[in-house]
Structures are given as structure tokens and as C-alpha cells.
Amino acid sequence: MSGIQRCRLPDGTNVVWAVPLSGMGHVADEQPLPYIQRRGVELTPRFGGEEQQRESGLTSLPVPYGYLAGRWPWRQRIFNFPRRRINIYWRNIFKDATRKDRLFHFIEQLEFIATRHGFAGSSPLLKYQRSFQIGTNCIDVSDVIEFREDLHFAELYLCPWADFQTIDSSTKCHIQPTITANYFKPIKSSTGAACWHAHKVLDAKYRRGDRLTWEYKYLIK
Amino acid sequence: MSKPRKSNYRLSGERLLKHLDAVLHPDTGYPDKPSWGYAFSYLAALLTKDGESSPLAKKALHHLALQDSTDLNYSWEFVVYALQTARYRSPNLIPAHMDGYREKGTRMFNWFLLRRLNKKLCNTYNTIDHLKLWLASKIYQESSGLILDEFKTRSLQYHAFCLFAIAELLETDPGNTWLKRWFTEGIRFSLSQTLEDGTALYIGRGQEQIFGYGALIYSIEYCHSKVKTLNEDCINQISARLLSFQREDGSYPLVLRHRDPEPKTANFADDKPAGWYGYNTLYDYQPFLAYCLLKASNLR
């Protein structure tokens, strides 16, 4: 199935999100947080474009990512070994998702499936789940990370989200995350320029069994 | 097809071609180097009243003949389609070195379909091609109706272009039931994904680009006219959304959006417009859109 999920709020607002493609697709194929649109007016961004540009590349997606502090754990290396993007280019047969720069992007490192209320991804190192609850004029999104192994990130970006940064009286959608952002960067996609927000943690160490949670509330006026 | 929609397509296509004629310099060509845009400018110009005698047709053909077709990356699939289709209207003007079947071989599924179509147009289509096409129809379409341009991806734009190619294949083989089923399932998927304001290409490579809208408009109009009656409301929404983006000078932006619009003369190298890819140029996609609009307006 396409993995594209759509619903319509009572006031005619359209909400679209999609189950991640586990690193096999293009950035533009992903919509891990709601794309909200009402009568042709975009209230939240879409993602993707020329992937060689940082602003529309993999790290512009609102899914957690980080850089491992040490070498890739063997269990993740073995997990990644058959996961090669030969569906895009044959030459990717020589390249798996175990990146030299130690970028651990959840989209790429986890295998995702659809769940009843969203999607869940898993790898030998962690499990990650995102659920969507649709109200009459709001959308609640909940994220949970459960560590299956001890893991040490040199830097980690949690609770990522994106908006158009038009905070004025005409703003039709306010996004309220439960973790305050301390990191911002410009991104761009077919909906134009937008801002990516996240909570950046340096030297982040987690033990097996640790659990992180946060939520986002999308309030639509 | 409703008459007003048909005349809107013609009007819009002609205005777009007028714009393209104005920016196509007789000596230096288009302001940004196209890949296959000259071939489609020529083909689209043939669908106007002046046909092959129009200045746009003459200039486009001149610049097409000057392109370096020996380059390994030359987009033969699009050029062969345009020239072999043009042959039916204007048989004597195709540059000799560009006549006949050629291919670049890009592996994306929309290119595969174009190759099968070109073989039909060049009379080189054989049983193996037919078998490949049948197998592909089983492998590359999900149960949702989505046609995959690459496995494990999803692009509403390239799904739409695949529908365009299948519509053209169907035109050469109208009695083919599996081709018809493949096509109608794909159309059903496209319509089911369309938002109420006509936004139809919001996920995947080429989000909201005019290339996909041209392909989608022609495919659904072809389906509605020749294969199966569709809900006109949905067609009207898509058509109204697309046409609302045409500028006063007849041009269209490459990516349709109201906020943060791209510059009128955008090119990737200088502007890196949001939502564009390195291979995008206005002068490939605008001629293709003009062609699709005029072709849709001619459907009976």
C-alpha cells in the first residue's frame, strides 16, 4: 500500500501524513508529521527537493537523528548490511546505511511499519513509535523512543518539527511541542522556505530500557 | 468533457506557447538550456492553428537540430516520443539524425513506459516488449492503484506521468483489457488522493510540478472521454487549480504554490528554487504542459 494517510477535519482542513519508507525512498516521499492544508492554503510544510542541498536533504525531515559518539555497533551494522537502496541506483549495491559520518537518522536506520494510529520503527538498538490522534480542530502527535541497547550520541536532535514561522494574527496553525526547541535551521521544499526546530542534546548517553517521550499539539484556528 | 473546460485548456495552452515563443531567441535559444524542451515546443506548436509554419515551431526545430544528440545523457526517450508523434502531423521536417528509435535507458519506470510507447510509434514493438509490459503492469502497480516509478518509493507526479504514457499506449491498442484495467486503477488512485481544492501531487519526487499536472490533466480527460466516465467535480477542481497559476504573460511557475513563489525566470543553477531538482528547467516542463493542455482540448 502507498502508506499515505489522509483525513478531513469538520471545517474542511485536510491532514496528510505517511508511513516512512525506512530509508529506501526519496526525501520528498516522506511526510512523517502532518501536512495540513485548507482550501489551497498550506498551513504546515511538506518536505524534499534536490537532496544534494542540505536544506532539502535527509536531515530536513522532522524525525529524530543524531551522530554516534563511537563506532557503529555490530548489531546495527549487520542489520544494515542487506538494506541497500538498489531500488534507486544499482551502484548503491556497494553502499549500505552504515554511514561513515556516523549519522544515525531514524528514517534510515529503522524498519517502519504502519500501526493502528501511526507508525513504528525498530532496529536492534532502539524502537520508535509515532501516533496521531485527530480531533475536531487539533491533532495530537505522540513520540516514544525505547532503547534496546546502551547508546551514546555525540549529538542528538529530539522532538523535531517544522513550520513556516509566520507567527502573527493570521497564523492558522500553531504547533506546540512539549520539549522546548533550542536548535533551528532553514529548510525548503515544494511549499517554500520553512524553519526546522528541535531540541539538541550533546553527549547524550542512554541505557538499555531507557525511554524518551514527547508530544506535539497542532492547533488549527 | 465539458466545453468550457476544453476551451480553457486551449486558451491556456496557446497563451503559454505565446510566452514560450517570446522567450525563445532565434540565435541563442531558451534562457535556460532544456533537455527535451525544443522537441516538445515543436510538437506543441503543431497543435496550434499555424502548425509547422508558426515561428515557434521553426525556431524550436532549428534549436533541436543543434542539440548535441551524441551526448550519452541525451534524453532520447522524450525526444523520440515528441518527434514520432509530430511525424503524424508534419512528416517531412524531422531532422534525419533524430529520426527512428533511440534510447538513453534511464531505469525509472516512467522511462520504461516511454520506451515501450516509442517502439510502438517507430513500429519496432514486438512480442517481448508486449510481455515485458504485461509483467511490468503486475509488478509496478500496488493494490492501492499507485504506480511505482521505483520500487519502495511513492511519487504522485511520476504516477501521473506513467498514466500519461499508458493512455498513449492504450490509444494504440484500445481493445486491450489489461492495459485498460491498469490505467483505470491508476486514475482511480489519483482521484482518490486529490484534495478538495484540486491539489493532487503533494507527495513524492516532483511535488506539485507542472510536468505532473500536465500529465494528470491529459490522463483523466482521456479516461473521461474514451474509457470511463469520471466525477467531473474532481476534474474541474484539478483543472481550476492548475489554470489559476497561469501568469499574465502566459507563463507558469514550475512548482505550484501561493506562498514564497519562485522567480518568473527561475533556473536551478542561479536560484535553487524550493521544490526544484537539479534537472528541472522551465523550458522542458512548460512546453510539455502546453502540449498536454492542447492535446486535452482536442479530445472528443
The CATH number linked to A66 is 2.70.98
pLDDT of residue A221: 86
| CB neighbours of residue A14 within 10 Å | 21
- Give the minimum alpha-carbon distance from B55 to chain A in angstroms, rounded to a whole number: 34
Average pLDDT, chain B: 96
User: How many structural domains comprise chain A?
Assistant: 1
pLDDT band for A121, please (50, 70, 90 cuts). very high
pLDDT of residue A167: 57
B153 and A6: CB-CB below 8 Å?
no
| CB neighbours of residue B27 within 10 Å | 7
Asked if the C-beta of B179 comes within 8 angstroms of chain A's C-beta atoms, the answer is no
**Phi-psi sector, A75: left (phi>0), alpha (psi -120 to 50), beta:** alpha
Asked if the C-beta of A4 comes within 8 angstroms of chain B's C-beta atoms, the answer is yes
Tens-digit pLDDT profile for residues B2-44: 789 999 999 999 999 999 999 999 999 999 999 999 999 999 9
CA distance linking residue A56 with residue A50, whole number of Å: 6
What is the pLDDT averaged over residues A88-108?
93
Asked if the C-beta of A150 comes within 8 angstroms of chain B's C-beta atoms, the answer is no
Q: Best of B144, B207, B256 to disrupt the A interface by mutation (most A CBs within 10 Å)?
A: B207
Residues of B in contact with A48 (CB under 8 A): 205, 207, 275
Q: In terms of DSSP H, where are the helices of chain A?
A: 74-80, 106-109
- Give the minimum alpha-carbon distance from B147 to chain A in angstroms, rounded to a whole number: 9
Give the B window 233-252 contacts with A, CB below 8 Å: 241
**ipTM score of the complex?**
0.95
**Do the beta carbons of residue A130 and residue A113 sit within 8 Å?**
no
pLDDT of residue A171: 67
pLDDT of residue A17: 98
DSSP B238: H
Cell numbers 517570446 label which residue? B22
The DSSP element (H or E) to which A113 belongs, if any, is strand A111-114
CA distance linking residue B27 with residue B23, whole number of Å: 11
pLDDT at B210 over 60: yes
A29 and B154: CB-CB below 8 Å?
yes
Q: In terms of DSSP H, where are the helices of chain B?
A: 3-23, 37-46, 55-66, 76-87, 109-121, 127-139, 156-172, 177-193, 210-222, 232-243, 268-271, 282-297
Tens-digit pLDDT profile for residues B159-170: 999 999 999 999
Asked if the C-beta of B277 comes within 8 angstroms of chain A's C-beta atoms, the answer is yes
- Tell me the one-letter amino acid at B106: T
Asked if the C-beta of A56 comes within 8 angstroms of chain B's C-beta atoms, the answer is yes
What is the pLDDT averaged over residues B49-72?
95
- Give the minimum alpha-carbon distance from B183 to chain A in angstroms, rounded to a whole number: 17
The reply to whether the predicted model has a pTM over 0.95 is yes
- The range of the structural domain enclosing residue A92 comes to 4-220
A29 and B146: CB-CB below 8 Å?
no
Residues of A in contact with B237 (CB under 8 A): none
- Give the minimum alpha-carbon distance from B263 to chain A in angstroms, rounded to a whole number: 12
Residues of B in contact with A29 (CB under 8 A): 153-155, 203-205
A185: which 3 cell numbers? 535551521
Residue B182 backbone phi and psi in degrees, to 5: -55, -50
Domains in chain B: ranges and CATH:
3-297 (1.50.10.10)
pLDDT band for A170, please (50, 70, 90 cuts). low
